[in-house]
Amino acid sequence: MRAQDLAVEYETVGIGTDATEAARLMARHKLPALLVLDEQGLPKAVLPASQMVKMLVPQYVVEDPALAAVVDERHADLLCRALADRTVRDCLTDSVPAPATAAPDDTALEVAALMARVRSPLVAVVDERENGARLLGVITAAHLLERLLAVAP
């Protein structure tokens, strides 16, 4: 199996996409992460769902988790307001590495090794040609496991 055969369509967002819209997309499709694309439509970053959740939690609660117990449910329901007027760019930390990418001819083992090395739930498959690069699709860890287990004895 080659990366181009494993790649599937996957939900993506632009760097300027509204953060609330991105969070809703993650929730609706139960995605572990979103692939963030730059202005040219190429992989820019992987935005984990855990990072979106972190955006909802006030900084004082992150620093002192015991304070979470004193916030009542009425105020907890307002947490999503933290995403208002923010974009996906605002949700990415400065230390976010470039997303893991595979070439179309990479083997399933090469993709698996890449996922393991960078601890990413997804790998973008990018076809880089002389006339420019093009996103072919994404391989998720779950999809890769499914395909590998299907051929296992």
pLDDT band at 93, cuts 50/70/90? Answer: confident
**Cα–Cα dist 142/95, whole Å:** 25
Give the model's confidence band at 118: pLDDT under 50 very low, under 70 low, under 90 confident, else very high. very high
Query: What is the rounded CA–CA span in Å between residue 33 and residue 42?
Result: 16
What is the distance between the alpha carbons of residues 11 and 112, in angstroms, rounded to a whole number?
21
* Burial class, 4, CB count within 10 angstroms (exposed 0-12 / middle 13-18 / buried 19+): middle
Give the tens place of pLDDT for each residue, 127-147. Answer: 998 778 899 999 999 999 998
Which region among 14-23, 87-96, 120-129 has the lowest average model confidence (pLDDT)?
Answer: 87-96
Tell me which of 77 and 110 has the higher pLDDT.
110
DSSP codes joined into one string, 26-45? HHHHT-SEEEEE-TTSSEEE
Listed range (40-44, 90-94, 101-105) with the worst mean pLDDT: 90-94
Q: What is the CA radius of gyration of the chain?
A: 18
pLDDT value for 14: 96
For the stretch 28-83, pLDDT in tens is 999 999 999 999 899 999 999 988 888 887 777 778 878 777 776 666 567 777 78
**How much is the pLDDT for 153?**
76
> Strand pairing partners for 36?
13, 45
pLDDT tens readout for residues 14-41 = 999 999 999 999 999 999 999 999 998 9
Task: Supply the DSSP symbol for 94.
Answer: T
Q: Which of 146, 147, 123 is nearest to 136 (CA)?
A: 123
More confident residue, 84 or 46: 46
